[in-house]
Amino acid sequence: MSVESGGSSAGSARATDGGRFGRGAEPPSEGKHEFAVIGRPLPKIDAWAKVTGETRYADDFFLPRMAYGRLLRSPHAHARIRSIDATRARALPGVYAVITGADLPRVKFGILPVSQDEEALCTEKVRMVGDAVAAVAAVDEETADHACRLIDVEYEPLRALMSIEESLAHPEVRIHEYGDGPNVHKNVALQFGDVEAAFARADLVREDVFFYEGNTHLPMEQHAAVASAGPDGKLTLWSSTQTPHYVHRLLAKILEMPAAHIRVVATPVGGGFGGKLDPFAHEIAACRLSQLTGRPVKIACTREEVFYIHRGRHPVLMWIKTGFTKHGEITGCHLRTWLDGGAYGSYGVASTFYTGVINPVTYKIPVYKFEGARVFTNKPPCGPKRGHGTPQPRFALECQIDKAAEQLGLDPAEMRKRILAEPFTKTANHLTVTTIGLGECIDRVVEASGWRAKWGGWRSQSEGASAAPSDNRRRGVGIACSAYLTGAGTAVYWNSMPHSGVIVRADRSGGVAVLCGATDIGQGSDSILAYLPAEILGIDPKDVHVHPADTSLTPVDLGSYSSRVTLMCGMAAIQASQRLREVVARAVARKLEVDPGALAFRERKVGVPDDWEKAVDFAQAVELAEAMHGVLAFAGSYAPPKRAGKYKGGGVGPSPCYSYSACVVELSVDEETGEIELHDVWIGHDIGRALNPLLVEGQVEGSVYMGIGEALMEGQVFRNGVHKQPSLLEYKSPTTLETPEIHTFLVETDDPEGPFGAKEAGQGPLLPVIPAIANAVYHAVGVRCDEVPITPEMILKGLELRRRGKAARVGPERIPRFTFKEPVVVESAFGQPADAIAVRPFAQ
Amino acid sequence: MKARLSLTVNGETHDILVPVHKTLLEVLREDLGLTGTKHGCELGECGTCTVLVNGEPVLSCLALPADLADAEITTVEGMAEGGRLHPLQQAFAELGAAQCGYCTPGILLTAQALLADRPSPTRQEVKEALAGNLCRCTGYTKILDAVELAALRMGAPR
């Protein structure tokens, strides 16, 4: 692992450390062994429960008198509901209750305030196969299933619109009555500087069209929820959700009951990836059924239902026009995206912006124009999957850069290094960038992969690198880079409160309880919440008891999305721990008759380093502090710096800091069969600082794996309104056999915005994998695949085109007829110095 | 129709009365309270619900208890002996091979069967043995590493 603080590209414009380590901390000395916990490859605190099967996921809850629920879902992609008759179902022995939309308040909801377009149980219309229309609670699942089949629903089928083109071509068929035009959910246009002038200055202007197929999260745990309405009128929901806070808020609205009487507990989540970020029909139905039956009600979704819940990767069609100088510098970029949003809004407005706003964070793009439109279709709604809206335009840009590099005769790795964004500056679209370790990431993967020898220049495709003349396999390497946010700078609903809060409480045993609303979805947030207080208080992570994600106990954390948890909860945990430490230090200082600033906290002791034999045990120090101060419970709060660009739409994209990744892929393509075999993936990731390198590597490896799936096999495809493969067997995802060796290199830039300098790792490393594979395929066989997933059929089609003397490109041929809005025109902020670091709410 | 059955799980024999079509997965979780075995698809596609039957990996979502009257069934709860973790469990925890942890029980048991059969498997053999167990979190890297580490430790003289 690289531990030089930043290398040459990270910049040295470090602000004071007051905001980084919290008030009262001594700035750590330089060097690798400055920390006792941070930077060490410790097991996760929940690892033991997970390897023994003791972790209780939502579906593992069995409560006394519990009933089992089931949803009846629409078999039609688009239909009016004429009537629902549940008489036969209600008469079935063992059925406790049957509800329809009529049994819920007539309130539409949605995760974003601007897209309140969902009903838990549809009342007038269904907009996709899988929309819920009724729910049953019964003595067991089998009876509930049976009862669902006895509910008579009369539908009037409507024309189903199953693609962007179809939805735009049929304005007379309306999926929703709101939006920016018939079947257009959102239409955005932003312009930062004069792109036409930038193209006129360029030596090379490329226009390319790309398509990125939609795919789904496919968590191994199917969504499940258990609701229990008490006789006191209060309600508790245990759910596999990544956002207990948003579910809490929305349940109050949907059920029309006081939020103060609702408790939402996020159980350990068996894989999220963004798929458990919305409030869902099964959660709401479980609550209502529990209220009506006076029993706890569990609804565990089937694997097929998880495909309908979806909220996964948007299919996106992209047109990208970029000007390059002969040295590879970008003069300007114009990007248009069309998103197939599916049947509901979900996070779609944010997704639409995300297809445009993050690309400028990676390279110098002095002027930039982005136009995007999200279109409703009668498919499961898309939303935030790992990388949220950014893998698609990243694929487009990185493949286009590869094409430009070839035309300009440049090494694509060298070219990228030449055009890296400057640390501590603003982008054209007014995003503030802090540290950038991308140059070092590129160096590391170029070196480790043997890039120069393997790439060996742009070769003519007649001389492919095969092992032997009889071997149809051709080897190739490809490179791509990316950037991703470390936490969204704005909340889903606008407010001035903290994005994350932590309470740290010390007890007389020397144990420390940490309460935080964060949800562990496998990424290790519970562990981070133990490591940081342990580091600051000089105790063992095992002494820390983490109590996460319970809205009646824990301060709000907005949720496990946008790679925000380590940074935001981490900063709040540091602040709370510092406050506890100060009080403990004062008490120990009084006893030892020394200055509090002279005290060190380590090895479960507090004392003066030069007089360590007098150091007091941490448990005793806590008792001294409690005697002096009273109960020791301290809160920490975090909200990101307010840096949103001052224009409409400027709220999507800002982040405290951005992570960077560079990836080299080596693969073989069989010219006979079109099959692709991945050999090795080298990935360099700028993590800021690895709080636990083991967990960071795990996030990077998992991201690479998921990128491989998206690049080569995963796709949600529909036929006649019906999902073609709503099962784990037919929806292809990589197994151990398709996953190559992944070589991870962590680059540390010690970002002034992050906890101990840390940035995100959970999403960014997915991004470069997909274009790196496409670029490697081209390097191997000379076929440009401007569409993912890249299938053997596409390869064979490209090779056939080449044999016929045509351009060996496979991908979308046209873009829709569509009029974007007049753009919001804003001056480019490119190259301006970054705003001050550590000017944050609640920092003091 | 219900059947009275005797089922031996983790060395303990249970007398149960269950519908004959109830799967082993459902009986383990709902009747015996052994929730360490997880649902993944209930169609035999993902490997999540793997348990050992007489030492062999079996998808419990496709198995019927009625067929298993004389069998020794092992679930993840039965891997540790006398409070001491199996070396596979130890290695998975130490190396970060369990992220969300949902596929972990099935993978641990599949790996246990592999190591019983082949104490020093090659990486490719580990990959082949685990090819039927999907994991969406780890990219498999740390899982393969952990199986190799456990094999090494189990082979080492005590």
Residue of B nearest to A269 (CA): B100
Mark whether B65 and B93 lie in a shared domain: no
- Answer yes or no: do B46 and A268 touch at CB < 8 A: no
User: Concatenated DSSP letters for A92-153?
Assistant: STTEEEEEEGGGS-S--B-SSTT---B-SS-SSEE-STT-EEEEEEESSHHHHHHHHHT-EE
pLDDT at residue A465, rounded to an integer: 52
Q: What's the DSSP call for residue A642?
A: -
Contact between A664 and A476 under an 8 Å Cβ cutoff? The reply is: no
Count the neighbouring beta carbons within 10 Å of the beta carbon of residue A326: 12
pLDDT at residue A23, rounded to an integer: 29
- Answer yes or no: do B138 and A56 touch at CB < 8 A: no
H/E segment holding residue A321: strand A316-324
In chain A, the percentage of residues whose pLDDT exceeds 90 is 92
Q: Is A710 on the interface with B (CB under 8 A)?
A: no
Among the three residues B51, B78, B105, which one is the final residue of a domain in this structure?
B78
Contact between A688 and A754 under an 8 Å Cβ cutoff? The reply is: yes
- Answer yes or no: do B38 and A48 touch at CB < 8 A: no
Count the neighbouring beta carbons within 10 Å of the beta carbon of residue A152: 12
In chain A, which among 358-417 make CB contacts under 8 A with chain B? none
Nearest to B104 among A50, A701, A735 (CB): A50
Residue of A nearest to B30 (CA): A62
> Chain B interface, mutation test: which of A736, A741, A743, most B Cβ atoms within 10 Å?
A736
Q: Is B23 on the interface with A (CB under 8 A)?
A: no
- Answer yes or no: do B96 and A59 touch at CB < 8 A: no
Pick the closest to residue B139 from A52, A683, A484 (CA basis). A683
- For A460, the token pair is 């003519």
How many whole angstroms separate alpha carbon A234 and alpha carbon A254? 15
Q: Is A694 on the interface with B (CB under 8 A)?
A: yes
Pick the closest to residue A217 from A347, A381, A386 (CA basis). A386
Mark whether B91 and B74 lie in a shared domain: no
User: Concatenated DSSP letters for chain B?
Assistant: -EEEEEEEETTEEEEEEEETT--HHHIIIIIS--TTS--S-SSSSS-TTEEEETTEEEETTT--GGGGTT-EEE-GGGTSBTTBPPHHHHHHHHHT--SS-SSHHHHHHHHHHHHHH-SS--HHHHHHHTTTS--SSSTTHHHHHHHHHHHHHHHS--
- Answer yes or no: do A220 and B104 touch at CB < 8 A: no
pLDDT surpassing 90 at residue A392? yes
Tally of structural domains, chain B: 2
> Chain B interface, mutation test: which of A218, A220, A306, most B Cβ atoms within 10 Å?
A220
Mark whether B60 and B94 lie in a shared domain: no
Crossing angle for the helix pair B141-155 and B87-95, to the nearest 10 degrees: 140
How many whole angstroms separate alpha carbon B151 and alpha carbon A403? 47
Q: Is B89 on the interface with A (CB under 8 A)?
A: yes
Mark whether B92 and B135 lie in a shared domain: yes
- For A48, the token pair is 């033991």
Query: A300 contacts in B (CB within 8 Å)?
Result: 39
For A187, the 3-state DSSP assignment is strand
- Answer yes or no: do A694 and B96 touch at CB < 8 A: yes
Mark whether B7 and B74 lie in a shared domain: yes
Tens digits of residue pLDDT in B116-152: 999 999 999 999 999 999 999 999 999 999 999 999 9
pLDDT surpassing 70 at residue A350? yes
How many whole angstroms separate alpha carbon A675 and alpha carbon A795? 8
* pLDDT interval class at A467 (50, 70, 90): low
Q: What is the mean pLDDT of residues A99-109?
A: 97
Q: Is residue A629 part of a domain?
A: yes
Tens digits of residue pLDDT in A523-568: 999 999 999 999 999 999 999 999 999 999 999 999 999 999 999 9
Q: Is residue A68 part of a domain?
A: yes
In chain A, which among 253-292 make CB contacts under 8 A with chain B? 268-273
How many whole angstroms separate alpha carbon B154 and alpha carbon B121? 12
Tens digits of residue pLDDT in A309-339: 999 999 999 999 999 999 999 999 999 999 9
Nearest to B134 among A48, A302, A733 (CB): A733
* pLDDT interval class at A112 (50, 70, 90): very high
How many whole angstroms separate alpha carbon B79 and alpha carbon A652? 48
pLDDT at residue A381, rounded to an integer: 98
* pLDDT interval class at A379 (50, 70, 90): very high
Contact between A567 and A573 under an 8 Å Cβ cutoff? The reply is: no
Q: Is B36 on the interface with A (CB under 8 A)?
A: yes
H-type alpha helices, A358-433 = 391-408, 412-418
Q: Which three-class secondary structure string do you get for B116-145?
A: HHCCCCCHHHHHHHCCCCCCCCCCCHHHHH
* Distance (Å) of CA A658 to CA A363, A521, A764, A833, B113: 13, 21, 9, 16, 44
Tens digits of residue pLDDT in A632-685: 999 999 999 998 889 999 999 999 999 999 999 999 999 999 999 999 999 999
Mean model confidence pLDDT for chain A: 94
Tens digits of residue pLDDT in A27-37: 444 444 589 99
Mark whether B105 and B52 lie in a shared domain: no
pLDDT surpassing 80 at residue A6? no
- Answer yes or no: do B38 and A742 touch at CB < 8 A: no
Among the three residues B11, B45, B78, which one is the final residue of a domain in this structure?
B78
- Answer yes or no: do B132 and A701 touch at CB < 8 A: no
- Answer yes or no: do B137 and A739 touch at CB < 8 A: no
Nearest-neighbour CA in chain B from A782: distance (Å): 28
* pLDDT interval class at A14 (50, 70, 90): very low
Write the CATH number for A548: 3.30.365.10
pLDDT surpassing 70 at residue A1? no
Among the three residues A254, A289, A309, which one is the final residue of a domain in this structure?
A309
- Answer yes or no: do A53 and B76 touch at CB < 8 A: yes
Residue of B nearest to A523 (CA): B99
Contact between A318 and A240 under an 8 Å Cβ cutoff? The reply is: no
pLDDT surpassing 70 at residue A180? yes
Mark whether B26 and B55 lie in a shared domain: yes
Q: Is A727 on the interface with B (CB under 8 A)?
A: yes
Q: What is the largest CA-CA distance in chain A?
A: 88
Mark whether B93 and B130 lie in a shared domain: yes
How many whole angstroms separate alpha carbon B88 and alpha carbon B41? 25
pLDDT surpassing 70 at residue A462? no
pLDDT surpassing 70 at residue A503? yes
Among the three residues A309, A329, A355, which one is the final residue of a domain in this structure?
A309
**Phi, psi of A402, deg, nearest 5:** -60, -40
Q: What is the mean pLDDT of residues A760-780?
A: 98
Residues in chain B, total: 158
Query: B81 contacts in A (CB within 8 Å)?
Result: none
Q: Taking CA A531 as the corner, what is the angle to CA A528 and CA A536, rounded to the nearest 5 degrees?
A: 130
Tens digits of residue pLDDT in A235-265: 999 999 999 999 999 999 999 999 999 999 9
- Answer yes or no: do A728 and B45 touch at CB < 8 A: yes
Mark whether B12 and B67 lie in a shared domain: yes
Q: Is A657 on the interface with B (CB under 8 A)?
A: no
- Answer yes or no: do A222 and B101 touch at CB < 8 A: no
The β-bridge relationship of strands A79-85 and A152-157 is antiparallel
Q: Is the backbone peptide bond immediately before A789 cis, with ω within 30 degrees of 0?
A: yes
Write the CATH number for A241: 3.90.1170.50
- Answer yes or no: do B99 and A522 touch at CB < 8 A: yes
Q: Is residue A481 part of a domain?
A: no
Pick the closest to residue A189 from A397, A380, A421, A353 (CA basis). A353
Pick the closest to residue A375 from A190, A191, A216, A166 (CA basis). A166
Per DSSP (E only), the strands in A443-589 are 473-485, 500-506, 512-516, 544-548
- Answer yes or no: do B96 and A43 touch at CB < 8 A: yes
In chain B, the percentage of residues whose pLDDT exceeds 90 is 95
Write the CATH number for B121: 1.10.150.120
Among the three residues B25, B52, B78, which one is the final residue of a domain in this structure?
B78
Q: Is B127 on the interface with A (CB under 8 A)?
A: yes
Q: Is B80 on the interface with A (CB under 8 A)?
A: yes
Pick the closest to residue A581 from A568, A600, A594 (CA basis). A600
Our measurement of the distance from residue A604's CA atom to the centroid of its chain's CA atoms, rounded to an integer in Å, reads 36
List strands edge to edge, sheet with A152-157: A125-126, A79-85, A152-157
Q: Which range of residues forms the domain containing residue A136? A: 58-158+220-272+276-309
In the block, which residue shows the tokens 């246990």?
A: B112
Q: Which range of residues forms the domain containing residue B11? A: 2-78
**Phi, psi of A426, deg, nearest 5:** -105, 155
Q: Is residue A368 part of a domain?
A: no
Residue of B nearest to A140 (CA): B30
How many whole angstroms separate alpha carbon A804 and alpha carbon A795? 14
pLDDT at residue A644, rounded to an integer: 87
Q: Which residues contact A472 (CB under 8 A, 6 or more apart)?
A: A466, A670, A671, A672, A673
How many whole angstroms separate alpha carbon A817 and alpha carbon A276? 34
Query: A522 contacts in B (CB within 8 Å)?
Result: 99-102, 137
pLDDT at residue A32, rounded to an integer: 46
| A27-30, long-range: CB < 8 A, 24+ apart | A30/A5
pLDDT surpassing 80 at residue A15? no
Q: Is A50 on the interface with B (CB under 8 A)?
A: yes
pLDDT surpassing 90 at residue A466? no
Nearest-neighbour CA in chain A from B27: distance (Å): 13
User: Concatenated DSSP letters for A427-482?
Assistant: -TT--EE----HHHHHHHHHHHHTHHHHH-S---GGG-B-SSTT--EEEEEEEEEE
Residue of A nearest to B104 (CA): A51
> Chain B interface, mutation test: which of A51, A680, A746, most B Cβ atoms within 10 Å?
A51
Mark whether B122 and B92 lie in a shared domain: yes
- For A226, the token pair is 């258990």
Tally of structural domains, chain A: 2
Mark whether B94 and B149 lie in a shared domain: yes
Mark whether B7 and B69 lie in a shared domain: yes
* pLDDT interval class at A471 (50, 70, 90): confident
Q: What is the mean pLDDT of residues B11-38?
A: 97
